[in-house]
Amino acid sequence: MTTDTMPDLMISTLPNSSESRSIAVTLQNDPTLSRSYEIVIAAHSLPHLGTKLRDLGLGKKSQKVLIVSNPVIFKHYGDAVQTSLQDSGFEVAKVILPAGERYKTAKSLQSIYDAALAHRMERSSLMVALGGGVVGDMTGYAAATWLRGIELVQVPTTLLAMVDSAIGGKTGINHPQGKNLIGAFYQPRLVWIDPTVLRTLPARELRAAMAEVIKYGVIWDRDLFSKLLDSPRLDQLRYIKPELLDTILYACAKAKAEVVSKDEKEGNLRAILNYGHTIGHAVEMVTNYRTFNHGEAVGIGMVAAGAIAVELKLWTQAEHEQQLSLIAKARLPQSLPTDIDLEQIIVALSLDKKVSAGKIQFILPTAIGTVKVTDQVSSEVVRKVLRQILTQ
């Protein structure tokens, strides 16, 4: 895609709401095909979701909506979303899936398909993902493949999903031998973010999300990185000032939207969003998704990527130390379990979906706010850094 076909990112304030923000993601990979959708950030907005969907023209032909969630999230927020949809005239069904990365499987996907069939979902029907990244990824892939594609709305309820996974159209499930090996690029019609739901977010999940927030500071937004450095703690919501939380939500969503608008299907630029994920995904897989959650594994991956960048003289030890200080503020792990098999991590890296021509792609920082994509990292350097992390 040439620069003259790349659309600009449009940012606007929602009408009649001084506390709401809207980011428009416009995708145009071909001059004849243009799509866009909103990322809406608005407190106390769950009860207004149905009205927004009607305003978007959804449900004109089919009133059927399938909510996909997990037990804990649906207990907290399911009634509000379901009532909002029903009050707007939608015919609502739900499917409740077990929570956790290890359930991001073909079996769970089949449960969504079964519910869609039972609800007689049509091509003009709609799926709503109410939950974190696992729910969003699986619902997105189900929507992409049910009847060859139906409408999708993301309603993220975790900070990690709000700042990252719910935006950009990456959907999928895990294969037993690799994370996210089965999936599709499939954009939602709307991303609806209500920050007030974060009050029920467990502290561990908040810490995990901070890994993705720090990632955006390293790869894209030096100002965000600086503001994170100014915060004394990043490990609990009560220590994060409301102004900083607002900055985090808006800056991360804006960064993701800008990248995806320019490179929807990871042809080049979008690969930078995988910073920390290459080794992070391998760590998740080798530990069977039980030792670390996704954000914790990404934190370890960023520690490794930063150390590799120091080894290759791409950035300075001082910059790496700044990154480490943020990871420490978020109380994210910085080392690997001593009983982990490093060679299994190397094998898992070779199965990563970002491998090209047999070479592993790494995203490495060159300065705060800037990274590069390279496949010129030797296995010796990777092993050296992994051993360093193992013994910290």
DSSP string, 29-48: EETTEEEEEEEEE-TT-GGG
Tokens of 355: 């491998």
Does residue 14 fall inside a structural domain? yes
Least confident window among 46-55, 220-229, 268-277, 330-339: 268-277
Binding residues: 133-137, 157-158, 170, 179, 212, 277, 294
Q: Are residues 69 and 43 in the same domain?
A: yes
Between 113 and 258, the higher pLDDT residue: 113
Question: Which range marks the domain in which residue 78 is found?
Answer: 9-200
320: annotated active-site residue: no
Q: Which pLDDT value is given to residue 390?
A: 82
What mean pLDDT value characterizes the chain? 89
Best CA proximity match to 144, nearest among 134, 155, 132, 136: 136
148: annotated active-site residue: yes
Q: Which pLDDT value is given to residue 24?
A: 67
Give the tens place of pLDDT for each residue, 172-220. 999 988 888 899 999 999 999 999 999 999 999 999 999 999 999 999 9
38: annotated active-site residue: no
Q: Are residues 214 and 196 in the same domain?
A: no
Binding residues for Zn(2+): 212, 277, 294
| Residue 330 contacts residue 354 (beta carbons within 8 Å) | no
Q: Are residues 85 and 210 in the same domain?
A: no
Does residue 1 fall inside a structural domain? no
Least confident window among 4-13, 187-196, 230-239: 4-13
Instruction: List Cβ neighbours of 8 (8 Å cut-off, separation of 6 or more).
Output: 26
Q: Which pLDDT value is given to residue 180?
A: 84
Residue of 48, 64, 262, 277 marked active site = 277
Percent of the chain with pLDDT over 90: 73
Residue of 60, 148, 199, 238 marked active site = 148
Long-range pairs for 243-250: beta carbons < 8 A, 24 or more residues apart: 245/195, 245/198, 246/195, 248/159, 248/163, 248/213, 248/224, 249/41, 249/162, 249/163, 249/193, 249/195, 250/21, 250/23, 250/41
205: annotated active-site residue: no
Q: Which pLDDT value is given to residue 100?
A: 87
Instruction: List Cβ neighbours of 209 (8 Å cut-off, separation of 6 or more).
Output: 158, 159, 160, 162, 163, 164, 295
Does residue 380 fall inside a structural domain? yes
Q: Which pLDDT value is given to residue 352?
A: 73
Residue of 101, 151, 205, 212 marked active site = 212
Does residue 248 fall inside a structural domain? yes
120: annotated active-site residue: no
Mean per-residue pLDDT, 341-346:
92
CB-side exposure of 323: number of CA atoms within 13 Å?
A: 38
Q: Are residues 185 and 306 in the same domain?
A: no
Decide if pLDDT at 318 tops 60. yes
Looking at 149, 167, 200, which one is the last position of a domain? 200
Q: Which residue in the block uniquely carries the two structure tokens 């080794």?
A: 279
Decide if pLDDT at 136 tops 70. yes
| Positions of E strands within the chain | 10-13, 21-30, 33-41, 64-69, 91-96, 126-131, 151-156, 170-175, 178-185, 190-193, 362-367, 370-374
Decide if pLDDT at 94 tops 90. yes
Residue of 48, 104, 170, 207 marked active site = 170
Confidence band of 44 (pLDDT split at 50, 70, 90): very high
Mean per-residue pLDDT, 361-386:
94
Does residue 2 fall inside a structural domain? no
What is the CATH number for 111? 3.40.50.1970
Looking at 181, 200, 219, which one is the last position of a domain? 200
Residue of 21, 104, 254, 294 marked active site = 294
Does residue 4 fall inside a structural domain? no
266: annotated active-site residue: yes
Q: Are residues 187 and 308 in the same domain?
A: no
Does residue 343 fall inside a structural domain? yes
Residue of 258, 266, 296, 319 marked active site = 266
Q: Are residues 186 and 219 in the same domain?
A: no
Confidence band of 300 (pLDDT split at 50, 70, 90): very high
What is the C-alpha to C-alpha distance for residues 313 and 173, in angstroms, rounded to an integer? 36
Q: Are residues 153 and 60 in the same domain?
A: yes
Q: Are residues 180 and 209 in the same domain?
A: no
Q: Are residues 195 and 263 in the same domain?
A: no
Q: Are residues 180 and 216 in the same domain?
A: no
Looking at 178, 200, 222, which one is the last position of a domain? 200
Mean per-residue pLDDT, 65-85:
97
Mean per-residue pLDDT, 138-149:
96
Q: What is the DSSP string of 68-100?
A: EE-HHHIIIIIHHHHHHHHHTT-EEEEEE---S
101: annotated active-site residue: no
Q: Are residues 290 and 169 in the same domain?
A: no
170: annotated active-site residue: yes
Does residue 324 fall inside a structural domain? yes
Mean per-residue pLDDT, 156-167:
94
What is the C-alpha to C-alpha distance for residues 22 and 38, in angstroms, rounded to an integer? 6
What is the CATH number for 300? 1.20.1090.10
294: annotated active-site residue: yes
Number of domains in the chain: 2
Decide if pLDDT at 387 tops 90. yes
Confidence band of 28 (pLDDT split at 50, 70, 90): low
Decide if pLDDT at 67 tops 70. yes
Confidence band of 2 (pLDDT split at 50, 70, 90): very low
264: annotated active-site residue: no
**CA angle, corner 188, sides to 185 and 191, nearest 5?**
130
Confidence band of 357 (pLDDT split at 50, 70, 90): low
Binding residues for NAD(+): 133-137, 157-158, 170, 179
Q: Are residues 127 and 222 in the same domain?
A: no
Mean per-residue pLDDT, 347-357:
77
Residue of 52, 274, 319, 331 marked active site = 274
Q: Which pLDDT value is given to residue 353?
A: 64
Mean per-residue pLDDT, 277-284:
93
Q: Which pLDDT value is given to residue 257?
A: 87
